[in-house]
Each structure stands twice: as structure tokens, then as C-alpha cells.
Structure 1
Amino acid sequence: MKIVGLLDSPFVRRTVITARMLGIPFEHQSLSVFRNFDEFHAINPLTKAPTLVLDDGELLVDSSHIIDWFERTAPAGRSLWPAGPEQLKRCLQLTGFGLAAAEKGVHRVYETKVRPLESRDLGWLRRVEGQIRDTFGELERRVPSEGDWLCGDAPTQADITVAVAWRFIHATAPGLVADSDYPHLAALSAQAEALPAFMATRFE
């Protein structure tokens, strides 16, 4: 089984971290949908990262669908979702917030680093940056202040997704969100980045 895509994508990184934390064996093929378009296209005509190439050659795309497959095929007893309905509801909510921040971060990258300067929409850019700040503001209000994880005493998919989004925004938009403005979120991210699965997926 192979995961294709660059770790500087928040969607690829959350997928790889999830596989590691669930104990699922895989090969990581580091290809860019831009620089390695032809090679990526030969693997998956959709040229979408992440792509999961299953052992039978079939493909799965979209990080959430791939992660759902991992959850259903992980070794017995392993899961990154809480069992109880209330904790699961909270975990799904916060994972969705993390995905929203990551998505807006990708929009910002396209607007500032892919789109030609003369074609950039500054109004759209300001809106996206505001959405990123507002999303992290909602998350900051929901992070436990006692150093626990988002949905209990162990890391869940919510922690993975939120921490990955936080790191991605810091890497691609330095200064957009300050640790001092979101201290609980910054502490949560630092706690997650110290986990072995995170450390194995660091990127510059």
C-alpha cells in the first residue's frame, strides 16, 4: 500500500500521521502535483494528493475517505475516534474545524504563490485570511486549558488535523496567526508535534 503526495500538504500529512498512529504499514511516495505532474498523473489520472494506492492497485482519494478506510482496516482495538457519542460529536466538530483551516490555508497558497501577481484578488485573500483567524479563534475557545488532548486523555483525529493545520499555516503564512493570540492552540500543536508520528513527518 502506498500514500502518494508531499508532506507539506496538510491533507497528505494528516493521512500519513494517521497511518503511523494506527500501525498501518505503507510506503510513502513523495510526489508534487505541480513539479511531478506527469509522474503523479500516471499513478492517478485525477492527480490529487493524497492518493492511496491499495495492494490490489485500486485508488482512494480524499484524506478523510482514506482515513476512514484506515480506521476500518486497522489492527483490532486501534482507533483515533472516541467511542462515546458525545466525545465523537466533539471530535468530528473539531476535526471539521481543522480541515476548514487547512482548506483556507491551501486557498491562500494558491492565491499568493500560484496565481500570477497581476491576477491576484486582494479582497478574496483578506477574506480567506480572516476565515483562517476566525477558525483558529473558534478552536482556541475549545482547547482544554489543562494540557489534555482535544477529546480526552489521548490524541484523536481532531488533534492530528488541528495540529497539522496549525503547522501548515505557520509554514506557509508566517505571522498570520501568532502563538500569543492562540496560546492553548499553540501548546496543543507543540504537544502533538512532539509525538513520534509527527516528528517522522516534519517538513521545511
Structure 2
Amino acid sequence: MQLVGRTLSPFVRRVAVTLSVYGMPFESLPLSTVSDGDAIRGYNPVGRVPSLILDGGEVLIDSSAIIDHLDEVAGAAALTPRAGAERRQVLRTVQLALGATEKSVAAYYEGQRRPEGLTWPEGLANLEAQAAAGYAALEAMLTGDFLCLGRLTQADVTALFGHDFVARVMPGLIEGRFPRLTALSARLNADPRIAATAFKG
């Protein structure tokens, strides 16, 4: 399999971590949405990452859809339970972490990628507040080593990639505010399977 996109993208890293934890070999195609747009659109016409090219040539797009397929292949080892209240709990927490990350990415683009003088301060403040509210909710849920079920689930993986993206590009948004999430990040990144997916640029 080939994973399209750089792991600087939290959504690409989410898939990379899942593949690594499942022990599924893959090749990284570290294309950038900034400089490799045409190549990326060859896999996803919208120009978004990640895409996952399966061994037979089929291309999957969107991190959630890709992970749904990987969970199916992983079977009982999947990081999201197959059914019932445990599945709902993990999925709810995943969506909370995804929402916080999406607001963080939007805040990054609003605050750091717009041309000088074209930033909307009120909009940026609202995005940052929404992201912080999501991280605060995750922080409150993290009363043990993991977010759900007392073990590693997709909720932890998803919270990890959001936290690490923000810590890299907007550290002021989370620095010192969410110590449990920061500790979770440190624990998970100490796992060689997860550390191997960190962005090296």
C-alpha cells in the first residue's frame, strides 16, 4: 500500500499511525498540498490528503473512510469496537477529537497562511475558542491512561494527531493548558510504531 501525503497533516498521520499499529506495511508518498497539488489531484480530485493506494491499485480517500477499511481488515484487532455502546463511545470521542483538529487546521490557515492584512481576527478567535473547547473536553475525559475503555483506541490516535499538529504549528493554543493530553502524547510517541510516523521536516 502507498499513503499519499506528508505526516505534517494530522489526517495523514492518523492513517499512518493506524497502519503502523496494525502492522500493515506501507510506502509513504510525502506529497505536499502546497507544492504538489496536481499530483495529489491525480488521487483525489478535490486535492486533499490522505489517499491510500491499495495493493490492487484501488484508491481510498479521506482519513475516516480509509480507517474504516483498515478496521475491516484488522478484524478483532481494530482500534474501534465493532458494535454496541463501546463502539458509540469511541466514535463520539473520535468525532470530538476530529472536530477540535479541524478547527485547529482552520485557525492555522486563517492566522498563518493568509496574505498580510487579510486575516479576520474575530473569525480566528472563534476558531481557536472552538478548538480549545474540544481539547478541554478531551482533557476532562482523560482520567486514566487512555480516553476510552482503558486501552488504546482510535480515540487516542485521533486526539494524538490533533495535539501534535497544534503543538508544532500553534503551540500557544495548548501550551500548559491540557497536561493530560500532553502526557498522553508523550506516552504514545514513546511507542516505536507511533514515533516512526512523526513528521521529520
TM-score interval w.r.t. the shorter chain?
A: over 0.9
Q: 2-side partners of 1:126 and 1:27: how far apart?
A: 38
How has the CA–CA distance of structure 1 residues 82 and 45 changed in structure 2, closer, same or farther, with 3 Å as cutoff? closer
> Could you say which residue in structure 1 is the equivalent of 2:19?
19
For 1:139-160, what per-residue CA distance to the aligned partner results, in whole angstroms no more than 9, with x for missing partners? 111111x4x2111332110000
Q: What's 1:176 paired with?
A: 173
3-state secondary structure, aligned to 1:82: coil
Report the counterpart of residue 130 of structure 2 in structure 1: 131
TM-score, normalised by the number of residues in structure 1: 0.91
Indicate the residue corresponding to 2:152 in structure 1.
155
Q: How does 1:1-204 map to 2 (within 5 A)?
A: 1-74=1-74, 76-82=75-81, 85-144=84-143, 146=144, 148-179=145-176, 181-203=177-199, 204=201
Secondary structure in 2 matching 1:3: strand
Kindly tell me the number of residue pairs found equivalent between the two proteins: 200
| Matched position secondary structure for 2:76 | coil
Q: Which runs of 4+ in 1 moved over 6 A?
A: none
- Percent identity between matched residues is 37
Taking the aligned partners of 1:123 and 1:49, their CA distance within structure 2 comes to 28
Q: Which amino acid counterpart does residue 39 of structure 2 have in structure 1?
A: E
Is the 2:20–2:194 Cα contact (8 Å) retained in structure 1? Answer: no
Question: Aligned partners of 2:171 and 2:180: how far apart in 1?
Answer: 19
Match of 1:52, SS state, is strand
State the distance in 2 between where 1:32 and 1:109 align.
16
Q: Secondary structure at the match of 1:28?
A: strand
**CA RMSD, Structure 1 to Structure 2 (Å):** 1.6
- SS across alignment from 2:80: coil
Deviations 1:82-140 (A, max 9, x none): 35623222211111111011101110121123221222111100000101111111111
Distance 1:126 1:113 in 2: 13
Unpaired runs of at least 5, structure 1: none
Cα distance in 2 between the residues matched to 1:192 and 1:99: 18
- Work out the CA distance in 2 between the residues paired with 1:38 and 1:152: 42
Contact 1:82–1:151 under 8 Å retained in 2: no
Q: Distance in 1 between matches of 2:27 and 2:111?
A: 32
TM-score using structure 2 length: 0.92
In the TM superposition, residue 177 of structure 1 has moved relative to its aligned partner by: 1.3
